[in-house]
Amino acid sequence: MNRFDYIRPVSVSEAIAAAAVPGSAYLAAGTNLLDLMKVGTTRPERVIDITRLPGLDRIEWLPDGGVRIAAMVRNSDLAYDERFARTFPAVAEALLSGASAQLRNAATVGGNLMQRTRCAYFHDLASACNRRVAGSGCDARDGENRLHAVLGWSEHCIATHPSDFCVPLVALDALVEVEGPHGAREIPVDLLHALPGATPERETALAPGELVVALRLPAEAADFSGNARYLKLRERTSYAFAVVSAAAALELEGKLIRKARVALGGVAAKPWRAREAEVALTGMPASAEAFAKAAEIALADALPSGDNAFKIELARRIVVRALSLAFEGTPEVMPALPASPFSTTAGAIHVA
């Protein structure tokens, strides 16, 4: 690990001023940043510790029924918040499917939004990686790539985004509040992460020095609370990133679908919103045939980036399964194995 300056600001404005110096990185829980620093993938010259900034650890319910979640709220605190879990159940289920309980107790909302790819070639300094060193190449293209992208990839990068949390956020039109050297702004989560194109080193829409201060879910997202699920297929049920995942949410009138939301994880460099599939579902009776057609539409542009053609069929099936579970209704209690396709019985009530 290289030597670096450690700075602990006392306000958001002071943190932003400190981060304006090139070579700076924000430190929240460090569950991703410190790992990257240890292996040399990231080598910041200044680390700005934001863990003690006032006001960044609150869950605030808005007058219209939406919610504002400050960036330093812990993943476990959010998932176990009773009102949040009942209002946005797919988001809570996604949070509880990620990492271990110990990591969820440390990891933060803002850090989860900003976590970087788990592609092995990105982490291996002996490998060429355009995301780590622009223009160096992509060894994943001819390497071990069975878990890499099938949507939105380019010849320059085939990495996937690792977050579970972000998948239902994209489906539910969540917004990120950002502050930076040029003031405050809002970014839809759907636009926060970038597809690689020819510039995979440009991973997000954030400008240098900008800081995520909060996440906001709109009141309209609560309309799906009765029929919303997150489903994650992984190589082992505990502590693994998704091979493919899906968030599905329905607003129903009897068996008629009034509104639908579908998003995929593990398939691209960003959480993938399947808007055309949502349109195809709207106004249709809920049925296996409608769900299968939506899945075909969601994966219509999918292409293997290597030895991973199987992921396309898996992704289709996970969309159908997630929609079917959403139609059955949000369970009264969190499944014993949150987000797992192997969880067939309910678990203990996960909120007080």
What does the pLDDT look like over 196-223, one tens digit per residue?
Answer: 999 999 999 999 999 999 999 999 999 9
pLDDT digits (tens, 9 = 90+) for 256-270: 999 999 999 999 999
Residues 6+ apart with CB under 8 A from 111: 28, 29, 30, 31, 32, 33, 71
Opening angle at CA 322, ends 92 and 97, nearest 5: 35
| Domain boundaries for CATH 3.30.390.50 within the chain | 225-328
Q: Mean pLDDT over all residues of the chain?
A: 95
**CATH for 1-54, options being 3.40.50.2000, 3.30.43.10, 3.40.50.880, 3.30.420.10:** 3.30.43.10
pLDDT above 90 covers a percentage of the chain that reads: 92
pLDDT digits (tens, 9 = 90+) for 60-97: 999 999 999 999 999 999 999 999 999 999 999 999 99
Q: How confident is the model at residue 352 (pLDDT cuts 50, 70, 90)?
A: very low
Contact status, residue 150 vs residue 311, Cβ threshold 8 Å: yes
- Across 141-161, b (16+ Cβ under 10 Å) vs e yields bebebebbbbbbbbebbbbbb
The type of residue at 262 is: V
Is CATH 3.30.360.10 the right assignment for the domain spanning 225-328? no
In this predicted structure, the answer to whether residue 345 has a pLDDT above a threshold of 60 is: no
pLDDT digits (tens, 9 = 90+) for 124-163: 999 999 999 999 999 999 999 999 999 999 999 999 999 9
Question: Closest Cα partner for 72 from 100, 30, 17?
Answer: 30
pTM across the whole model: 0.96
What tokens were used for 260? 């639908």
Average pLDDT for 31-60: 95
Give me the half-sphere count of Cα atoms (radius 13 Å) on the Cβ side of residue 297: 17
Q: 106 in helix, strand or coil? A: helix
In this predicted structure, the answer to whether residue 350 has a pLDDT above a threshold of 50 is: no
Q: Which segments within the chain are labelled E, that is strand?
A: 5-7, 24-27, 46-49, 59-61, 67-70, 175-180, 183-188, 211-217, 228-234, 242-253, 256-265, 272-273
| Domain boundaries for CATH 3.30.43.10 within the chain | 1-54
In this predicted structure, the answer to whether residue 306 has a pLDDT above a threshold of 80 is: yes
In this predicted structure, the answer to whether residue 351 has a pLDDT above a threshold of 70 is: no
